[in-house]
Amino acid sequence: MTPRVGTGFAAALILALACTAAGQGTVARRGSIQGRVEIRRAVHPAERRPTVGDLGTPRDRPAAEPHKSVVYLESAPRGAFEPADGGRAVLDQRNETFVPHVLAVTTGTVVEFPNSDRFYHNVFSFSKGGRFDLGRYAAGKSKSVRFDRPGIIRVFCDIHSHMNAFILVFSHPFFAITDADGRYRIDNVPPGTYSVVAWNEGVTSEPRTVTVREGAASDLEFSLR
């Protein structure tokens, strides 16, 4: 090892250690927002259109999953809008139902729409920023759509009128989907004061202000009518 190379390696090592330490410090400084979204209205799964032309009872569908909510920062911290890879997500078509019913992704995400039924579906959306029609494809096949613009995408099946789902596309990663009990947690939020909104089936709450402190969890409850 020549002295010149050795000096360079040492400098790189010191820089790497410094960056790691700084990164750990950044993670340690972040906090979280958690709480529960209470739905104070009856939310029924979408019913089939009453068609009198059927010769028999339409297929049974399994009980719908509870309609989950999405909680998100209305204004994200500076630097949160850096272009992200987005990754991949799946919105399955199973038993004449989109699973999950609500999907939240960041911009740049490619969403797969596999058909897990033994008959055709035809996924489409006429939402602004997400207008697409995947046509009819059989069981085991899948098609995908990349979502590059933030917004709410309503997804339907052109064959089965009761099939619908929501894809919420965010330009930042500070959002969370509630669990079956309505609880949520948004992690890795830089300290600061934010406006937070809860969304459920097209209904949004009034923005609520919350202050996130270093390494602490801030509680925020929502009630949607």
String of contacts with another protein for each residue 164-183, x by CB under 8 A: x-------------------
Applying CB under 8 A, the span of 6-14, 98-106, 114-122, 204-212 interacting with another protein comes to: 114-122
**Which listed residue (3, 25, 56, 79) binds another protein by CB under 8 A?**
56
The residue assigned the tokens 């052109």 is 158
Stretch touching another protein by CB under 8 A, among 50-58, 70-78, 174-182, 213-221: 50-58
User: Considering the rule CB under 8 A, would residue 203 count as an interface residue with another protein?
Assistant: no
46 lies in the binding site for another protein (CB under 8 A): yes
Is the Cβ of residue 107 or residue 115 nearer to another protein in the bound state? 115
Does the footprint of another protein cover residue 62 (CB under 8 A)? Answer: no
- Member of 54, 85, 181, 206 binding another protein (CB under 8 A): 54
Size of the site for another protein (CB under 8 A): 34
Work out whether 124 is an interface residue with another protein (CB under 8 A): yes
